[in-house]
Structure 1
Amino acid sequence: MDALLPSQPERYWQLMKRSLLLYRKSFFKTFLFALCFAVITFTPRYIAVSIGQESFIPGPFLNSYHLLLLFIDIIALPFFIAIVWHMSCITRQVDEPAREDMMIGIHKVIKVFLAILIQAFLILCLAFSFVTLQRIYLQEYLQLIQHTIGALLLSMFFILQLFLLLYVQTLFVFLLPLIVIEKNSILNAIKNSILLVWNHWWRTFSFQATPWAIYLLILLTIKLIFGVNIHVFFIRDTPHHILAALSNTLIFALWIPWVAATLLVQLRDLELRIKRK
């Protein structure tokens, strides 16, 4: 491995610097994949703009809209796999054509998608168990809310649920690079991702969340200062226009390779930490 990946465990800012360097080194060859990934991912937004209404459609868990989202995810996934694979080639000083990167993406998509489905199923089971507990003890919850201490305890209980869901989700963050780069089976990728993150949860979460936090900050800045109605979920939106959708797509395309870079850099760092024990 060259200097793009760490040769020993490093601090947060050292790893962040490496991820940005890997992003810069691979940008021109991965941007086309990132742009395709972004365009496909934002297809529901384009549909919403064209029909003049929000693309979110409430209803049964597997209604036609949710199936469309699932199909879009499957179509988009090979492009992100290609980004990760090409970055891995750069760290190994292998000059591979874009066509080969895309073939790897297509070849690995089923295995990666099945691993993601298993992850989603486990998280849904955990969420369902929380909902079941809430239903069983609903009357007790309602009585607690009537008192200040009870309301505080109830709030802490919901915060704990949210943290556990976030904790479990973070355990699976390295599934894709373990399957694509290190050629793990689905079960081994799940096991190895959990082992890597288990004792380094905050290190992993804070590092992987950084690109998304900055991405959100940039969206908010553009939305509030420049008045472009870029879609941000927790802010009430006015009707969207094609310019806003295109702007959001471009920003996402510029950003997603950095997400891939942080995965590869931290995967190497955590593997080195495990080997030192």
Structure 2
Amino acid sequence: MEYKTLLVELGPDTGCADRVRLAAGLARHSGASVTGVTATGMRLEPLRGAGDDAGRYAELARRQLLAQGAAASAEFHRVMQEAAPEVSCTHRLIEEDPGWALAREGRLADLIVLARLPGLESLPVLVAQTPEYVMLEAGRPVLLVPPGVRSLACGHVAVAWDGGREAARAVADAMPLLRRAARVSVISAPAADGGTPQPQAAPAALCEHLASHGIAAAVHAVPGGQRPGPLLLAAVRELQADLLVAGGYGHARLRELVTGGTTRTLMRQSDIPVLMSH
């Protein structure tokens, strides 16, 4: 299996062009098509009875958003032509909230390429950010790309493994990239809920499963006693991995946000691309 349809988030962030280049390179390797999505935000409509001025303001704001979308489309096609002229690409402008638009459009994509969230906030946020919402609602794997990353190197892929359902889903969704890897390390991670991984889901068992697919993998154990997120990030840096594959956990949402959460830490602090599935 290869990724044949890629969806990439377009936005005003400084990493957007590099993210498109990464998607273009991945599409060129797998013979895929790329769809760029620009979401303008919620539809701007005047309140009933607000008067003519409110209507004119809403229409002016809408036209400005559409003009920004047209500029995003032109830039998307320019970068795609420069990076991979042979790859089929299309642009969609959607007048909806970015998370909702990307989740809806992404349900018919093999992989959704998103901007990595900025660093952790000092205070907990009780509303899911765009990548979190898309991961939880799209039903498809997401690839979170840090700023400045222009290509997806798969020389060394690390897998965060705790034996959970989400981790298993992520491994299955990452198979096209795991097969490309020259080296795969299975990081023996603490369970996301703080419990003990099931014996049948031991890292060695995952290595055996990967071997049945022709993928050689080795276990890399990490010490306990610390929060899983920082432990995983430290292991990835030690291994000098190019890509991290991890399950995205969305249960106990309030608890995760208040305590930071492994998923949230990886989404905001990883220096390398992270493929996540929920």
Give the TM-score normalised by structure 1.
0.28
**Higher strand fraction: Structure 1 or Structure 2?**
2
Give the TM-score normalised by structure 2.
0.27
Higher-RCO chain (CA-CA 8 Å, sequence separation at least 6): 1
**Higher helix fraction: Structure 1 or Structure 2?**
1
Which of structures 1 and 2 has the bigger CA Rg?
1
